[in-house]
Amino acid sequence: MLQLSTPSLRDSILRHLTYSFGKDPEHAILEDWRMALSYAVRDRIVDAWFKATHQTYETGAKRVYYLSMEFLIGRLLEDGIVNLELVEEAKSALAEFSKDYNDVLADEPDAALGNGGLGRLAACFLESLSTIGCPAHGYGIRYEHGLFRQSFVGGRQVEQPELWLGQRHAWEFERPEVRYRIGFGGHVTNHGETVRWHPAEEVEAEAFDTPVVGWKGRWANTLRLWSGRAIHPFDLAAFNHGDYAAAAAPEALARTISRVLYPDDTTEQGKELRLKQEYFLTGAALRDILRRFNNQFGDLRKLPSKVAIQLNDTHPAIAGPELIRILHDERGIPFDESMDIARNTLSYTNHTLLPEALESWGEALFGRLLPRHIQIIDQIDNEHANRNPSRTQSMRADHQVKMGQLSFVMAHKVNGVSALHTELMKTTVFEELHNLHPDRIVNQTNGVTPRRWLLACNPRLAGLITESIGEVWVDDLEQLEKLEPYIEDAGWLDRYGKVKRDNKVELSNWMGQAHGFHVDPDMIFDVQIKRLHEYKRQHLNILETIAHWLEIRDNPDADWTPRLKLFAGKAAPGYFFAKDIIRLINDAAAVINADPLTNKYLKIAFLPNYNVTLAERLVPAADLSEQISTAGKEASGTGNMKFALNGAPTVGTLDGANVEIRDHVGAENFFLFGMTAEEVMERRMVESHAQKAIAADPRLARALEVIREGRFSPAEPERYHNITGNLEGADYFLVCSDFSDYWRAQREVDAAFKDQQGWARMAAFNTARSGWFSSDRTIRGYMKDIWDAKSLLD
């Protein structure tokens, strides 16, 4: 391999500024500096990337492929700098040119190619795979527009298109030579044993590669994103006839497929374009995987020993039938053998038990778009029924194709994402399939990467930890338990408390500058940031806030613990109830923040446009983490882990990974409230459960009443009758039934926060005992229990 000596970062920045971007330092704009620094860092990542690729080929190691419709990666420059340990060098290099490091970092657009937790998990996994040195590729779609930008007008959410490629993007390498044709529609022919699909329409998938570097640059893997292109991009005949729109039409049509991310993370809308996107990603990824396998190994019967393909939710579930189609129709391997090879190669992660979020497709649409695949699915279903005569549920009932069941049958392992969620899978959606295949479901509790979610986003805390126990924790997070003895040292605990306080001051200053929102950093920073959804119950939080406000007004001279309620999160554009909750929070904030009687004790802020960058700002400054979903509904959560790690105790229900967080940090360092998943199911059976809860709690009744009478919407008193009516009626997510216990937990928080040292202890125990929630631990679990893959660094 070519050996070049590494120039200093300063020289490298200057070279790129000059020769890659054609600017001298006098005329460079901020974006030029950001690009030059990115290229300088990228050069070093590329070195690690080539080394990893060569080692993977030479050792013939098994490769992992992570297929996901979403990768919520956020900004990449700081991630690269931190992982290559170039922070100090980058700061001083930029200082030489009188540029501020943070200004340069902040110039990078936030790549929001995902909706929320599922996409962020995929991004954390890629980073952990590289840190561990497991040969892997992520496969996804290079959406031109990621998740919409959110702003508020009159308190209401307004969506604008996200243009992350509007500025120059430093991290991707276009691969014009890596293209595959992806077909849709058409018909199927039979010639004896040979079946052939003849698509009516074809688009080309073109690869764009982003290197993903791990800790200390020891390894780098690839995120390969597909972009849609026309096969014959320009219709010259039409152009020559003067029909310029028609001339460009094929290109426009093909590009539509990778144009936008579907902005909904909880309801599957069954739209044709979405199914096209799913097959586009999966078809291109499988062709690419098989091309690489063929070059290196050849014998397709060995596929499961060299390739592990993970399906992130059911979105790429078409991988099962597609792999069978290639093995059987194109390579002539018998059907049942093809099915076994495919199943031994594939595994599937379930992310939700919400019925409205379980993917299914109408057979008419599915058969029209993928006529051969629907035949194969029927054959899979028959084969599965034959092998399991006691089976009662088909994946092809009610003129639907059920993607969850298809994924289960075509995977050798199916995993849930927290202990509770995995157990519930066995007794709810997958009960019958679990009984037929009792070894198939396994648990892999989610995690977050400590490089982004502690080292990079919270440098003060990271510094204190490293000073105390050394830097081993960065890729061995359970070492944080070595902090426990320090917690008993009052001087150390003071420093821990000061880190949080400094982070809060920094956030307060930013909120003042960026949003004109001024807040006292001595308040409790009580934070609920996540997608808006009824099951996540932001409305429970605002109801308690309103009740608390009324209570303070009753007795404004009492010794209240000052509190800032911070919210952030986007609602799916068509989810009107969630949008009403946003507006209610904003309306309530306007009234309550302006109340001179209470506003030294209680303030509310809803920060717009929640994304990874905003999360990185808020998490280090949080005192309290709100994880208040209806028990049994949140599969895992990962926001909960970021907060615990950064020293914010949780007020939460026994849901998702909250259960395991509480087990790890200790019940005394967690504010538990609410019904268990089992009690939730029982409570739903109780007639008029909401009315009963309201009758039993005058605070709840009064909070609902002031909303209903228009206290926060005087110009339109009935504005929130949809919300109050829902809560007083069906209240499916049991906001009313959990209210009183939530109130109690919040008053315990008030009392606990008065003892600043006691609070710091609790926070520090959260940090010291959250090491298990590293995505490194999660990935090692997948490697061992699901992929049978090895690290090339161990």
Ligand X SMILES: *Cc1c(COP(=O)(O)O)cnc(C)c1O
277 binds ligand X (CB under 6 A): no
Torsion of CA 65, 69, 72, 75, to 10 degrees: 70
How many residues belong to the site for ligand X (CB under 6 A)?
A: 12
State the minimum distance, in angstroms, from the CB of residue 740 to ligand X: 24
Q: Looking at 460-468, 496-504, 575-583, 638-646, which segment touches ligand X (CB under 6 A)?
A: 638-646
Q: Catalytic one among 530, 603, 633, 761?
A: 530
Q: Which of residues 75 and 120 has its CB atom nearest to ligand X in the complex? A: 120
State the minimum distance, in angstroms, from the CB of residue 612 to ligand X: 5
Interface mask toward ligand X for 1-30; x: CB under 6 A: ------------------------------
Query: In the structure encoding, which two tokens stand for residue 497, read together?
Result: 């408390």
Q: Which of residues 116 and 155 has its CB atom nearest to ligand X in the complex? A: 116
Block residue for tokens 């932001």: 538
Q: Which of residues 37 and 628 has its CB atom nearest to ligand X in the complex? A: 628
Identified binder of ligand X from the candidate list 456, 547, 571, 612, rule CB under 6 A: 612
449 binds ligand X (CB under 6 A): no
Query: In the structure encoding, which two tokens stand for residue 54, read together?
Result: 């060569």
Identified binder of ligand X from the candidate list 530, 664, 761, 769, rule CB under 6 A: 530
State the minimum distance, in angstroms, from the CB of residue 643 to ligand X: 9
State the minimum distance, in angstroms, from the CB of residue 473 to ligand X: 20
State the minimum distance, in angstroms, from the CB of residue 120 to ligand X: 4
Task: Identify the CA nearest to 128 among candidates 773, 785, 768, 615.
Answer: 773
State the minimum distance, in angstroms, from the CB of residue 547 to ligand X: 24
Task: Identify the CA nearest to 544 among candidates 682, 674, 688.
Answer: 674
Q: Looking at 89-97, 245-253, 266-274, 610-618, which segment touches ligand X (CB under 6 A)?
A: 610-618
Residue 182's Cβ-side half-sphere holds a number of Cα atoms within 13 Å equal to: 32
**For the chain, how long is the longest CA-to-CA vector?**
88
Q: Looking at 390-398, 552-560, 634-642, 742-750, which segment touches ligand X (CB under 6 A)?
A: 634-642
Identified binder of ligand X from the candidate list 126, 461, 615, 635, rule CB under 6 A: 615
Identified binder of ligand X from the candidate list 42, 120, 351, 719, rule CB under 6 A: 120
Q: Looking at 31-39, 586-594, 636-644, 647-655, which segment touches ligand X (CB under 6 A)?
A: 636-644
State the minimum distance, in angstroms, from the CB of residue 513 to ligand X: 22
Which residues have C-beta within 8 Å of that of residue 304, sequence separation ≥ 6?
341, 344, 345, 412
Reduced to 3 states (helix: H, G, I; strand: E, B; else coil), residue 729 is coil
For this structure, is 306 an active site residue?
no
Q: Give the angle subtended at the CA of 579 by the CAs of 578 and 580, to the nearest 5°.
A: 90
For this structure, is 536 an active site residue?
yes
611 binds ligand X (CB under 6 A): yes
Q: Which of residues 217 and 632 has its CB atom nearest to ligand X in the complex? A: 632
638 binds ligand X (CB under 6 A): yes
Q: Looking at 141-149, 422-430, 547-555, 611-619, which segment touches ligand X (CB under 6 A)?
A: 611-619
Block residue for tokens 């063929």: 294
For this structure, is 498 an active site residue?
no
Block residue for tokens 């592990």: 308
> Helices 30-59 and 87-96 sit at what angle, rounded to 10 degrees?
150
For this structure, is 565 an active site residue?
no
737 binds ligand X (CB under 6 A): no
Q: With contact defined as beta carbons under 8 Å apart, do 362 and 270 qualify?
A: yes
State the minimum distance, in angstroms, from the CB of residue 784 to ligand X: 25
Q: Looking at 126-134, 153-161, 237-245, 607-615, which segment touches ligand X (CB under 6 A)?
A: 607-615
State the minimum distance, in angstroms, from the CB of residue 445 to ligand X: 13
Q: Catalytic one among 42, 531, 533, 570?
A: 531
Q: Catalytic one among 642, 662, 711, 719?
A: 642
Q: Rg of the Cα trace of the chain?
A: 27
State the minimum distance, in angstroms, from the CB of residue 589 to ligand X: 21
Q: Which of residues 39 and 575 has its CB atom nearest to ligand X in the complex? A: 575
Q: With contact defined as beta carbons under 8 Å apart, do 198 and 190 qualify?
A: no
For this structure, is 504 an active site residue?
no
Give dist(CA 239, CA 443) in Å, integer.
Answer: 57
Q: Looking at 85-93, 140-148, 468-476, 635-643, which segment touches ligand X (CB under 6 A)?
A: 635-643
Q: Which of residues 113 and 768 has its CB atom nearest to ligand X in the complex? A: 113
Strand 307-312, strand 346-349: pairing? parallel
Q: Which of residues 325 and 530 has its CB atom nearest to ligand X in the complex? A: 530
Q: How many CB atoms are closer than 10 A to CB 356?
A: 8
Query: In the structure encoding, which two tokens stand for residue 69, read together?
Result: 């419709």
Q: Which of residues 371 and 637 has its CB atom nearest to ligand X in the complex? A: 637
Query: In the structure encoding, which two tokens stand for residue 513, read together?
Result: 């500058």
Query: In the structure encoding, which two tokens stand for residue 100, read together?
Result: 């501020």
Q: Catalytic one among 42, 63, 351, 533?
A: 351
Reduced to 3 states (helix: H, G, I; strand: E, B; else coil), residue 724 is helix
> Helices 459-469 and 490-515 sit at what angle, rounded to 10 degrees?
160
Q: Which of residues 405 and 638 has its CB atom nearest to ligand X in the complex? A: 638
State the minimum distance, in angstroms, from the CB of residue 74 to ligand X: 7
Q: With contact defined as beta carbons under 8 Å apart, do 711 and 594 qualify?
A: no
Q: With contact defined as beta carbons under 8 Å apart, do 35 and 168 qualify?
A: yes
639 binds ligand X (CB under 6 A): yes
Q: Catalytic one among 372, 536, 565, 719?
A: 536
Give dist(CA 27, CA 30) in Å, integer.
Answer: 10
Task: Identify the CA nearest to 206 among candidates 271, 281, 279, 278.
Answer: 281
DSSP single-letter state for residue 453: I
Give dist(CA 683, CA 669) in Å, integer.
Answer: 28
State the minimum distance, in angstroms, from the CB of residue 638 to ligand X: 4
State the minimum distance, in angstroms, from the CB of residue 728 to ligand X: 27
Q: Looking at 237-245, 253-261, 510-518, 632-640, which segment touches ligand X (CB under 6 A)?
A: 632-640
Residues making up the chain, counted from first to last: 794
Handedness of CA 296, 302, 308, 313 (dihedral sign): positive
List residues bridging with 184 in a β-sheet. 201
Backbone angles phi, psi at 400, to 5 degrees: -125, 155
312 binds ligand X (CB under 6 A): no
Reduced to 3 states (helix: H, G, I; strand: E, B; else coil), residue 228 is strand
Which residues have C-beta within 8 Å of that of residue 502, sequence separation ≥ 6?
460
Q: With contact defined as beta carbons under 8 Å apart, do 228 and 258 qualify?
A: yes
637 binds ligand X (CB under 6 A): yes
For this structure, is 530 an active site residue?
yes
Across 262-412, the runs of DSSP E, i.e. the strands, are: 307-312, 346-349, 360-362, 400-402
Q: Looking at 19-27, 140-148, 171-179, 609-617, which segment touches ligand X (CB under 6 A)?
A: 609-617
Q: Catalytic one among 638, 724, 767, 778?
A: 638
Interface mask toward ligand X for 88-117; x: CB under 6 A: ----------------------------xx
Q: Which of residues 661 and 749 has its CB atom nearest to ligand X in the complex? A: 661
Question: Nearest to ligand X by Cβ — which residue?
Answer: 639
Give dist(CA 341, CA 293) in Å, integer.
Answer: 14
Give dist(CA 444, CA 124) in Å, integer.
Answer: 14
572 binds ligand X (CB under 6 A): no
Give dist(CA 491, CA 13) in Å, integer.
Answer: 42
Site for ligand X in 319-378 (CB under 6 A): none
| Site for ligand X, rule CB under 6 A | 116-117, 120, 530-531, 611-612, 615, 637-639, 642
Q: Name the residues annotated as catalytic.
A: 351, 530-531, 536, 638, 642
